[in-house]
Amino acid sequence: MASVDWPLEKLVTYVPESTAEGDFDAFWDANLEQSSAVPLNAVFTPVDDALPMANVYDAAFDGADGVRVRGWFLTPKDIPKPLPAVVQFIGYTGGRDYPHNLAAHLLNGFCAFIMDSRGQGGNTGQRLETSHGAQSGFITHGILDKDEYYFRNFYLDTVRAVEAVRARDEVDGDRIAASGGSQGGALTIACAALSPHVKAMVPDVPWLSHFTRAINISAGPYQEITGFLKRWPDQVETAFQTLSYFDNMNLVERVTASDAYYSVGLWDEICPPSTVYASYNRLPSGVTKAIEVYPFNGHEGGGGLHQQRKLRWLRDRLG
């Protein structure tokens, strides 16, 4: 079967060696403890006349560093009992956009929340102090120090988003799914790895996995890292060490969700198939998993067909 990467028969058995440092779990446990001590201060402000058959809320909560993270929260108009909820994350440089984009989840019988991405293309700002400069974009900010790295507080935002949603009366806190594509897929994996309250995870063509391979074979945003390393070749080892703490190939081993549903495009040059399988094949044995393979698709994955499949899968697992 055609692929821009390895043949499918190699991909399905590919399990790269972990790059996690000895203090990997201690690092994340300490960050989660620090984050949990910061009040959420979640506010859900009703938005009138946005969607007449839905309750729409302009949502916000405090990130672990005090950044006010924005989102949309939607529920069906009349809720006889608490419903499952999907917490959705966004692709690179995107923003929360408009609330109608969550409507399919409501029609599927769920509540839905979309979390804005800090400092990117939405309504959420950024607070980041680093001891060095960066390449264009976001993924090299703080790359020489794990405590300064851009995705540290961003990953913690996902956990706090789940907590904000679980606190809503409309939501069944035992039936929460994390979902997203590309960067959103990476955040989905990180969320399921760091939050004990994610029941199901749905990462589409996920990014930020198997950095040591991805940076060498991919196109697109990973080239921000190669650009940084071209400028600072003496910092290669330090940069990869930092990235190992945020590599979803390593984080996925912490996942406690019961179910996972991935997608991969075999012609994907942005998130090459081997980097997707690197996390998929390292899921813990207790996770019931499935992956949809799109043989001739690139980073768009399965497109509308896959979105329909995801809705059905979510109904089967949480509905």
Point out the residues that are catalytic.
182, 268, 299
Please classify residue 129 by burial: count the beta carbons closer than 10 Å to its beta carbon, then call 0-12 exposed, 13-18 middle and 19+ buried. Answer: exposed
CA distance 238 to 15: 24
CA atoms within 13 A on the CB side of 61: 30
Rounded Cα distance between 199 and 216, Å, is 34
Q: Give the separation between CA 7 and CA 27, rounded to whole angstroms.
A: 36
DSSP state of 179: E
Single-letter code of the amino acid located at 233: P
In this structure, what are the phi and psi dihedrals at residue 271, rounded to the nearest 5 degrees? -120, 80
Q: DSSP letter at 18?
A: P
Q: Which two tokens stand for residue 28?
A: 């994340």
DSSP category for residue 116: P
